[in-house]
Structure 1
Amino acid sequence: MSYTIALNFEDGVTRFIGCKEGETVLDAAYRQKVNLPMDCSDGVCGTCKGYCEQGQFDMGDEYLEEALSDEEVAEGQVLTCQMVPSSDCVIQVPVASTLCKTQVGSVEGTVAAVESLSEDSIELVVDLENADGLTFLPGQYIHIDVPGTEVHRSYSFSSLPGDKRATFLIRNIPNGVMSGYLTERAKGGDRLKLTGPLGSFYLREVTRPVLMLAGGTGLAPFLSMLAQLVQKECDAPIHMVYGVNKDDHLVKTDALDAFKEALPNFSYSTVVVDDASEHPRKGYVTHHMDAGVLHDGDIDVYLCGPPPMVDAVLNHFDTEGITPQSFHYEKFTPNQVGERA
């Protein structure tokens, strides 16, 4: 038996390795040419310390208190030289990937479809050449090289990890490099290079109610998250507030309706900014987060949208004295993705 271990480095790079049954994470990493920090490999120095965000494992008792205290164990910190997984795991490694002599991976793909969903949104579908698809954490993003140029643009996956066909929601920016390619030159079979995965905005283990706040094409990572939650048969309360500027900017609501059918406790509401809209909920997402979806702060919040939206939500929580159990957010601009967990 083998387990998949996601190593998240502090520079935003994620590297996935396979860990054999009974094998330590450190040994598995070195076997796959990822040089995690290490001095002694005997549980003495603490150099290989990291934080396990999710997953089951055995640490044994052959390490020193000076290397890893009981308090640190209770917080989820681990020594990768002693950690033996018994499930898939996600581990934060507190150094840059370059210091571990690893780097972000890449995969080739071809354009399968380009669909204009609205004046504001384009869906890009890519067939991946890797027969096993691409491994990533739902919510993460990837760099896509723009054919015919020397630049790339960054987009969150809206598809499931491991799918042979990757999908992305892309904002249609007038005179944008990627937008111009997709609307004017793209054709089926065009070759693309994708580099990643990247980012610290991703779905954690669901142990309490979840609030998802999506702005525009910031809906993309939530589609990936929801698809995985369907696979896991999640029954926790999950509510999404999805905000856009205009009525016709609301896209993929058919997918959200399907998730409502598949997830027993999932609900969503849509919000439109445009004053001329006849939509029943107008304004901003901060106007439509009632007490019922906040669970008195016993909630995990995920937020993805343009910088003004992210700043408005942060200010709203601060003003209202709302402190979620965890708060993960990602800002994006037309030319880049920025993330914070």
Structure 2
Amino acid sequence: MNSYRIALNFEDGVTRFVDCGANEKVLDAAFRNRINLPMDCSDGVCGTCKCKAESGTYDLGDDYIDDALTEDEAGQGMVLTCQMVPQSDCVIAVPVPSTACKTGTGQFSATVSAVQPLGDAAYELVLDVADAAPAFLPGQYVNISVPGSSLHRSYSFSSAPGNGRMSFLIKQVPGGLMSSWLQGARAGEPLQMTGPLGSFYLRAVTRPLLFLAGGTGLAPFLSMLEVLARDGATQPIHMVYGVTRDADLVLVERLQAYALQIPGFSFSTCVADPQTAHARQGYVTHHLPAQALHGGNVDVYLCGPPPMVDAVQQHFKAEGIVPTHFHYEKFTPTQPLAAVAEALA
């Protein structure tokens, strides 16, 4: 019997995956996995189970009433999980926290395969999964527990879902808790993780894409590009990758490889340092080609530090740019180890 993988993405960013059998309704599949999605009548009458299908194909049947789901709502991707029968893998946005559905983050373990320093800018951490490869959406992150401490750090996958080997791009923070551990990490050491988490992930591609990456905010885009290459993306995709220093431009060769694999993909890089020898000095907002905005008919994905995210938002507002969809994620460097120790003292 065929089954489909359904990603339930909750309001608090927690994602849980369930397998939904052929002719099985999403609500029933969730309950079978002990996830109590919102519901009342389960007959397509009350609308309590209304969610949004962000990708995938499905059948809603005709057993629900308009008061529960209007024709306009259905046209916008709204669904009743008590009536929805998937016909492919789907991603469903659930408008309540995971805790309200009596579920939470998944937990899994992995072992260190390699730690590759990328100059003094970042590390690439490669992990082998101990059990089945965890499911996640390209762009999401996990919390990795730092061995020898009670703390964790959050990192986006830079690898694609479905692999037994995972990778992460981690900024080198002098004295940082994870950076300090990575300096002495050895192959085979175990790591514990919780996730996947986050509402920053690749949606169904129906129009051109503009990717804006700042520093190690490149990581989720590497995951997305791997999926786009694997799926044979046909829409135009442009990336602007901005960093502070020349040395912070890492894994550019990966982007060059994707430019060869994905027919519509192009990218440019820029460096903010006024003393840079790079061809494009300045911030991402200085190097946005008008043609990559497609007159607003574009889905924009942005991942970078808060000042970058704020600057892009202000730039769009000042220029009157209103993209069809604008997804973004802010991240901040974690405190150095000494500062953490002081705070805990």
C-alpha distance in 1, partners of 2:29/2:169? 35
1:179-328 aligned within 5 A? 179-183=179-183, 185-328=184-327
1:83-98 aligned within 5 A? 83-98=84-99
SS at the partner of 1:148?
coil
Structure 1 unaligned residues grouped into runs of 5+: 337-341
C-alpha distance in 1, partners of 2:148/2:199? 30
Counting matched residue pairs gives 334
C-alpha distance in 1, partners of 2:119/2:221? 19
C-alpha distance in 2, partners of 1:118/1:44? 59
Q: 1:254-283: per-residue Cα shift (whole Å, max 9, x none)?
A: 111110110001000000111111111000
Question: Residue 93 of structure 1 aligns to which amino acid in structure 2?
Answer: V
C-alpha distance in 2, partners of 1:138/1:65? 35
Give yes or no for contact 1:57–1:86 (8 Å, CA) kept in 2: yes
Task: Identify the residue that residue 167 of structure 1 maps to in structure 2.
Answer: 167
Q: 1:93-129: per-residue Cα shift (whole Å, max 9, x none)?
A: 1111111111110110111111111211111111111
SS at the partner of 1:313?
helix
SS at the partner of 2:206?
coil
Task: Identify the residue that residue 33 of structure 1 maps to in structure 2.
Answer: 34
C-alpha distance in 1, partners of 2:306/2:99? 29
Task: Identify the residue that residue 340 of structure 2 maps to in structure 1.
Answer: none
SS at the partner of 1:333?
coil
Task: Identify the residue that residue 21 of structure 1 maps to in structure 2.
Answer: 22
Task: Identify the residue that residue 53 of structure 1 maps to in structure 2.
Answer: 54
C-alpha distance in 2, partners of 1:76/1:122? 40
Give yes or no for contact 1:157–1:220 (8 Å, CA) kept in 2: yes
Q: 1:296-315: per-residue Cα shift (whole Å, max 9, x none)?
A: 11111000000110000000
SS at the partner of 2:331?
strand
What's the offset of the Cα at 1:335? 2.8
When the two structures are superposed, what TM-score results if normalisation uses the length of structure 1? 0.97
Q: 1:177-208: per-residue Cα shift (whole Å, max 9, x none)?
A: 1111112x311111100100000000011111
SS at the partner of 2:213?
strand
C-alpha distance in 1, partners of 2:236/2:72? 31
Question: Residue 157 of structure 2 aligns to which amino acid in structure 1?
Answer: F
**RMSD of equivalent CA atoms:** 0.9
Q: Percent same amino acid among aligned pairs?
A: 60
1:38-117 aligned within 5 A? 38-117=39-118
C-alpha distance in 2, partners of 1:328/1:55? 19
Question: Residue 171 of structure 1 aligns to which amino acid in structure 2?
Answer: K
When the two structures are superposed, what TM-score results if normalisation uses the length of structure 2? 0.95
What's the offset of the Cα at 1:162? 1.4
* Regions of 4+ moved over 2 Å: none
What's the offset of the Cα at 1:316? 0.3
C-alpha distance in 1, partners of 2:235/2:65? 38
C-alpha distance in 2, partners of 1:290/1:168? 29
Task: Identify the residue that residue 150 of structure 2 maps to in structure 1.
Answer: 150
SS at the partner of 1:205?
coil
Structure 2 unaligned residues grouped into runs of 5+: 336-345
C-alpha distance in 2, partners of 1:248/1:173? 14
